């Protein structure tokens, strides 16, 4: 991660930038998945004793198909997350209009969990809930817990399921 400055302008630009996780995670995921699946295809075909040209052709076909598949899946996943975020935003906007005191209590609890208490907690709650955009942004902030293990579990689970579905028709012929 590149170093960053601490002038007022630099801080304002950095904090005001749209949130994003960057592409590092996607690059690592793609590289590992592509390496493992291509190795598995090539090793399996080589183990079956097929000619080197067949091994290369199947390896290349796997690289292309898997790459396009991962790109399409990543695009669809990102779009689904954005759609979900829009839906959550609409729900929060509705709740703020319909149940403002209950939503204020949620803001208070979020801030309490961040370490605020007493008068500072009440003042921060008042300040945030006076600005609807800040209020909504705090309510839809990403979860405050680590999802890496859960995310990895679901990627593995659905990757295995989808690939087993792909190979099941030839298995019936065996």
Note the pLDDT of residue 145: 43
75 close to 30: Cβ distance less than 8 angstroms: no
42 close to 55: Cβ distance less than 8 angstroms: yes
pLDDT in tens, the chain (174 residues): 567 778 888 777 777 665 556 667 777 777 777 778 888 888 888 888 888 888 888 888 888 888 788 888 888 888 888 898 899 999 999 999 999 999 999 999 999 999 999 999 999 999 999 999 999 988 887 654 445 566 666 677 776 676 666 555 555 554
d(CA 91, CA 85): 10
Q: Of 12, 70, 81, give the one whose Cα is nearest residue 36.
A: 70
Note the pLDDT of residue 98: 95
Q: Of 138, 107, 143, 139, give the one whose Cα is nearest residue 123.
A: 107
d(CA 29, CA 47): 27
Note the pLDDT of residue 71: 83
112 close to 121: Cβ distance less than 8 angstroms: yes
Q: How many CB atoms lie within 10 A of CB 84?
A: 10
Note the pLDDT of residue 10: 79
Confidence (pTM):
0.63
Query: CA–CA distance from 75 to each of 30, 79, 161 (Å)?
Result: 13, 6, 20
Note the pLDDT of residue 89: 92
How many residues are listed for the chain in this entry?
A: 174
């Amino acid at each position: 991660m590149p170093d960053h400055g601490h002038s007022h302008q630099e801080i304002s630009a950095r904090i005001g930038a749209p949130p994003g996780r960057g592409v590092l995670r996607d690059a690592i995921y793609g590289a590992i998945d592509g390496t493992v699946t291509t190795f598995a295809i090539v090793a399996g075909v080589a183990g079956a004793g097929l000619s080197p040209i067949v091994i290369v052709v199947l390896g290349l076909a796997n690289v292309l198909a898997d790459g396009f598949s991962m790109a399409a899946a990543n695009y669809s996943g990102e779009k689904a997350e954005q759609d979900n975020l829009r839906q959550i935003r609409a729900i929060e906007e509705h709740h703020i209009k319909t149940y403002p005191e209950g939503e204020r209590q949620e803001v208070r609890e979020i801030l309490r969990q961040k370490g605020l208490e007493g008068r500072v907690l009440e003042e921060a709650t008042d300040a945030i809930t006076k600005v609807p955009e800040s209020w909504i942004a705090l309510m839809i902030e990403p979860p405050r817990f680590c999802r890496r293990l859960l995310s990895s579990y679901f990627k593995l689970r659905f990757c295995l399921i989808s690939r087993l579905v792909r190979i099941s028709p030839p298995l019936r012929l065996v």
